[in-house]
Structure 1
Amino acid sequence: MRRSLIIRTTAVAATAALALTACGGGGGSPLSSGSGGSAAPSSTIIVGSANFTENSILAEIYAQALAAKGITVEKKLSIGSREAYYPGLQDGSIDLIPEYTGVLLQYINKAATETSPDDVYAALQKALPPTLVVTDKSAAEDKDAVVVTKETAAKYNAKSIADLAPHCGQITFGGPPEFQTRPDGIPGIAKTYNCTFKDYKSLDAGGPLTIAALKNGDVQAADIFTTDASIQADGFVALEDPKSNFAAQNVVPLINKAKATDAVKQVLNAVSAKLTTDELLTLNSTAAGPTKPAVDVVAKDWLTKNGLL
């Protein structure tokens, strides 16, 4: 994680002053505050993110869009995986985070079987605890995928996970530690495709460690998100998932119900209405580009382009 960074700025909207605090990940969890996280005042929304670039960009988009409407926000970015940040949503130390419908549903209800976007969203709304709600889901979708190099795909004549399955015993798989136990991770792939990999290397969430391991052959298959810019840039192959091991994963704001006022929901729904899968690809490609712009800059440019600032 990045060194802890706390920046407090004040921006003046048309009718209100805003306090904006940005916290990146540090040596400890961004949720830590003395002995633990604490809830924000009722007028402040704490926006968190997972520890990968796309999610941090989305969190910045939510935070800046809310701030532009005079809503006071605080940012705690790059917290970690769902297993790290979800408790913060429950105890109030964060209020809002960009989520993905299918994996969130399976995290809450490991027996969930829904796979289509609308079915997953409906089931998620019912499965959430009473203190949390989701606003409108976006059309943007970013799924986990089993990704291989072109050479591996050609070697096994593999276009899908089903094609790869007979050869899984020869393959070392790489991904984040949590993918090893999540229902749609290694257990799901084994159950759905009868695919048991030779070995598993714990890396990062589709980040530089995973990309490097796949490129240099330390792993022959990896968990990489479908909107990751490296798939196109490095000529990787995202294998098809014909049996829908990975459910629909539409981007959706997950928020503390007590903070989901009509004004807040209107802002978040406006963002979701503009967000598409192609837009996610562009955001990720921009962030990974030669100049490596900061996530807040990428977010601001997107909001400006879409008339949300």
Structure 2
Amino acid sequence: MAAGMIGRRGLVAMPFALAAAGWIRGAAAQAARPVVVSSKIDTEGALLGNLVVAALRAAGIPVEPRLALGPTRIVRTALLAGEIDLYPEYTGNGAFFFNRAEDPAFRNGQSAHELVARLDREANNLVWLPRAEANNTWAIALRGDLARAGNLATMEDFAKAAEAGTLRLAASAEFVESPAALASFERTYGFRFPRDRIVVLPGGDTAVTMRAAAQRISGVNAAMVYGTDGAIAALDLVVMRDTKGAQIVYEPAAVVRAPVLAAHPGIAPALAPVFASLTLEKLQQLNAQIAVEGRTAAAVAQAHFRSLGG
């Protein structure tokens, strides 16, 4: 009886030992190779990607940068395929990754992060690290002189001004046509912006819409923007606050493959202070240094990282 028990334990223990050894070898191999860091192709993506690279290198973590890889679809696909290990993503995109665009959780910063983190860990073994509390969602901004003269600061104020017929908006076709954009503002705040007072510009470049408002091109005095656009302050535009949560919250966070994080546990503490430093105002300022002042994303990221004591 005792011999049989020993025999069974031996049969179980040997595969377990082999599996453990294999896991250790796999973890060691993962730790030995550099962390492949990527980012999206836009200005803010380049900034965030360079910040991640700077922080990981300062922590002694080997890094292989593959920045400005492409738009969301390309970078997300590469992460899921294991071709890259980490990149900065926005919480709000989780609403579309998991077909949850109507879920109210995605209209609050904390609940959006908690939900996408849980869904992505369960479905894809991906880990969302702590977010920056800087919402890069769709927004509407007014010329500063107009906003100050009319004491306009919120989307409630914007709705009243829209009905009064004093505004002319520059926006992309997607912003006008998507149920998640202008239509969501209209539903939430109970107004309808006259379509004959919208100048629809090709593409989704907010630099163009902001410039139209700032320079009063075609009588425009309001613009579709993204919350962290760098030129907002430089062009003296005032973003109307979305007090009722009409828009999904898009806050940036580093997303990493779980095996990579296990092999390099220093990733999380290295990135935490970086993303904590990125308030809405700070991210606007850093983006402005790239988009308005013409500095490179790498230079701006290095300077900001050094300012944090890195």
Structure 2 length-normalised TM: 0.71
Matched, 1:294 2:296: yes
Deviations 1:7-34 (A, max 9, x none): xxxxxxxxxxxxxxxxxxxxxxxxxxxx
Q: How does 1:117-136 map to 2 (within 5 A)?
A: 117-128=109-120, 129-136=123-130
Q: Tell me the residue number matched to 1:44.
A: 34
| 5+ long unaligned stretches in structure 2 | 1-28
Distance in 1 of aligned mates of 2:285 and 2:169: 30
- Secondary structure in 2 aligned to 1:307? coil
Q: Tell me the residue number matched to 2:268.
A: 265
User: 1:70 offset after TM fit, Å?
Assistant: 3.2
Matched, 1:159 2:160: no
Q: Tell me the residue number matched to 1:221.
A: 222
User: 1:172 offset after TM fit, Å?
Assistant: 4.4
**1:186/1:44 Cα in 2 relative to 1: closer, same or farther (>3 Å)?**
farther
Matched, 1:77 2:61: no
CA contact (8 A) 2:230 2:283 kept: no
**1:183/1:65 Cα in 2 relative to 1: closer, same or farther (>3 Å)?**
farther
Q: Tell me the residue number matched to 1:191.
A: 187
Distance in 2 of aligned mates of 1:204 and 1:48: 23
- Secondary structure in 2 aligned to 1:174? strand
Distance in 2 of aligned mates of 1:152 and 1:278: 21
| 5+ long unaligned stretches in structure 1 | 1-40
Q: Tell me the residue number matched to 1:212.
A: 211
Matched, 1:252 2:244: no
User: 1:155 offset after TM fit, Å?
Assistant: 9.3
- Secondary structure in 1 aligned to 2:36? strand
CA contact (8 A) 2:154 2:240 kept: yes
User: 1:64 offset after TM fit, Å?
Assistant: 1.7
Larger relative contact order (C-alpha < 8 A, sep ≥ 6)?
2
- Secondary structure in 2 aligned to 1:148? strand
Q: Tell me the residue number matched to 2:24.
A: none
Q: Tell me the residue number matched to 1:24.
A: none
Q: Tell me the residue number matched to 2:23.
A: none
Structure 1 length-normalised TM: 0.71
Identity of aligned residues (%): 23
CA contact (8 A) 2:170 2:209 kept: no
**1:162/1:85 Cα in 2 relative to 1: closer, same or farther (>3 Å)?**
farther
Bigger Rg, which one: 2
Q: Which moved more, 1:133-142 or 1:195-204?
A: 195-204
Letter in 2 for 1:135: L
Deviations 1:14-61 (A, max 9, x none): xxxxxxxxxxxxxxxxxxxxxxxxxxx942333222333222111101
User: 1:151 offset after TM fit, Å?
Assistant: 6.0
Deviations 1:181-205 (A, max 9, x none): 7664234234323435625433344
**1:49/1:191 Cα in 2 relative to 1: closer, same or farther (>3 Å)?**
farther
Deviations 1:225-281 (A, max 9, x none): 333332222111211212211244433112222322312222222422443334323
Letter in 1 for 2:156: A
- Secondary structure in 2 aligned to 1:228? coil
Deviations 1:287-309 (A, max 9, x none): 3454x22111111111122122x
Q: Tell me the residue number matched to 1:201.
A: 201
Letter in 2 for 1:236: L
